[in-house]
Amino acid sequence: MKAFSTDPKLRWLFCMTHPDDEISICIWIRRLVANGNAVHMSWTHSNPIREREGRQVAEMLGVPQENLHFLSASDGAVCDEIPTLLPTFRQLMQTVSPDRVCCGAFEQGHIDHDSTNYLVNATFEGPIFEIPFYHTYLTRLQRINRFSDPAAEEVLLLQREEQTFKKKIAHQYPSQNIWSVLLSYEVWQTVRLKPIELANSERMRLQTHNDFSTPNHPPALSRRVLKSPTWNRWLMALKVAQSQVAALDAP
């Protein structure tokens, strides 16, 4: 199943966690809109300021305002709110009725991203595609726009005009420090004699790792994640969430 499918009949839902996560996949969203696809976007966390920024970016991408969904979860605490968010996500899936759902990869970059990924998998039965935001929360300067294991990823190469537009999108979040983070990352890449790669491609893969009790990384990195306090927090939240899913699914 091709990730970057241009079938105009497909309905797409992009389940972002924070307004600014869509930077990672904004050109593909814009291409879908131009292709005539029905495109919806949701954000697990939102507040009035960040909602305003998300709406402005969606307008730039061409996504209709009525196709935007702000779910108002708390920043940094989505994992603790999974039980109350589950019915919200189920309603979202029923309302949008997507053919495909895209979300941030379950890669332990941010516990909120992992929580959104879990919520999508718990409420949508169709194909789910992961987008690499960044990983992991073990380090201050995280790996951006790349999976820790690139197996099965698909790469969308961007045209020069699209690269310029993507950088313009990254400037649309004045309430956050996202632009300075991206700039620092490119400086770090330059110092390491690595190619500057943030604006030249977008990536997705069909999600196949559905064991939320194990990290989704090569063995050495997984072992490091398993020792972290953030991972332990995730496991405790996961236990509560799985109990809630079982209760909702009980006859």
Give the domains, in start order, of the chain with CATH numbers: 11-249 (3.40.50.10320)
pLDDT score for 183: 47
Can you read off the two tokens belonging to residue 125? 């039965």
pLDDT score for 187: 41
150 in Cβ contact with 143 (< 8 Å): no
Q: How many CA atoms lie within 13 A of 231 on its CB side?
A: 20
pLDDT score for 101: 98
Query: How far is it, in rounded angstroms, from Cα 204 to Cα 217?
Result: 16
pLDDT score for 174: 87
42 in Cβ contact with 7 (< 8 Å): no
pLDDT score for 246: 73
pLDDT score for 203: 97
pLDDT score for 200: 87
Q: What angle do CA 105, 23, 179 make, to 5 degrees?
A: 115
Query: How far is it, in rounded angstroms, from Cα 116 to Cα 123?
Result: 11
Query: How far is it, in rounded angstroms, from Cα 160 to Cα 166?
Result: 10
pLDDT score for 251: 65
pLDDT score for 196: 52
- Cα 158 from chain centroid (whole Å): 19
56 burial level (CB within 10 Å; 0-12, 13-18, 19+): middle
List per-block mean pLDDT (blocks of 10 residues) for the chain, which spans 251 residues. 97 97 96 98 96 97 98 96 95 98 98 98 97 93 90 95 91 73 47 57 96 97 97 96 76 65
- Nearest CA to 133 among 143, 125, 123, 124? 143
